Amino acid sequence: MKNYVIVVAGGKGLRMGGDIPKQFLPVKGKPVLMRTLEAFHACDAQLELILVLPADQQAYWKELCSTCHFTLPHRIADGGETRFHSVRNGLALVDEEGLVGVHDGVRPFVSQEVIRNCYREAAQKEAVIPVVEVVETLRRLEESGSETVPRSSYRLVQTPQVFTVSLLKQAYAQPYSPMFTDDASVVEAAGHAVHLIPGNRENIKLTTPFDLKVAEVLA
């Protein structure tokens, strides 16, 4: 039995913009992706790290690791057309039974407690995702206008999303659907229930330039 984390960083970062892909941007001087990988290693040094990066960014990443003296051992898989395809490429490197987490490379502020709880609960429940409550009023847009919906019925979903290896591999054998916006949606489409546990509010996904400003404060 072995535990893994697949850190996906195979996207284009269109909403962030800029010349440097967002996963490589420095936050308080250290590239985002290094912070993310370190968070998992700090939680469990035995966890096998699998990083998914676009093929044409891998040489740059290796150079960055050398410049920053970043030595955490990790294997690299090629990014795919969508997040689903990137996860599937990472999953192909998972070769033993155990637990596998999938985490967005651009969520460097996941807490140690959340990582630990996700893996611990997944050992029992097979499929676990961290979520946080909605803290603002929520409205649904309709053709005729919009209406407030009960926010206590909704949760915002974070990563890491952790599963047994056999379950996630079975789920990712399905054909791609645009409805697959995270790993839980893939697993549910394969007919398995997903268990929710509390996430941490700092675990934001660095998506826009505004998020980078927040990151500088959180780091």
Ligand X SMILES: C[C@](O)(CO)[C@H](O)COP(=O)(O)O
Ligand Y SMILES: Nc1ccn([C@@H]2O[C@H](COP(=O)(O)OP(=O)(O)OP(=O)(O)O)[C@@H](O)[C@H]2O)c(=O)n1
Binding residues (CB under 6 A) for ligand X: these are 83, 104, 157-159, 181-182, 205
Nearer to ligand X, 157 or 194 (CB): 157
Q: What is the pattern of x (binds ligand Y, CB under 6 A) and - over residues 98-127?
A: ------xxx---------------------
Burial letters 105-137, b for 16+ CB under 10 A, else e = bbbbbbbeebbebbbebbeebbbbbbeeeeeee
- Say how far residue 153 (Cα) sits from the centre of its chain: 23
Phi–psi pair at 51, nearest 5 degrees: -110, 130
| Length of the chain (residues) | 219
Q: Which does 79 bind (CB under 5 to 8 A by kind): ligand X, ligand Y, none?
A: ligand Y
Nearer to ligand Y, 102 or 194 (CB): 102
| Interface stretch with ligand Y, choices 12-20, 62-70, 113-121, 167-175 (CB under 6 A) | 12-20
Nearer to ligand Y, 44 or 78 (CB): 78
52 binds ligand Y (CB under 6 A): yes
Q: Which does 13 bind (CB under 5 to 8 A by kind): ligand Y, ligand X, none?
A: ligand Y
Tokens of 132: 């946080």
The only residue of 4, 5, 6, 8 in contact with ligand Y, by rule CB under 6 A: 8
Give me the residues paired with residue 128 across strands: 162, 195
The only residue of 3, 4, 6, 10 in contact with ligand Y, by rule CB under 6 A: 10
Q: Closest separation between CB of residue 53 and ligand X, Å?
A: 16
Q: Closest separation between CB of residue 183 and ligand Y, Å?
A: 11
79 binds ligand Y (CB under 6 A): yes
Nearer to ligand Y, 20 or 149 (CB): 20
Q: Which does 129 bind (CB under 5 to 8 A by kind): ligand X, ligand Y, none?
A: none
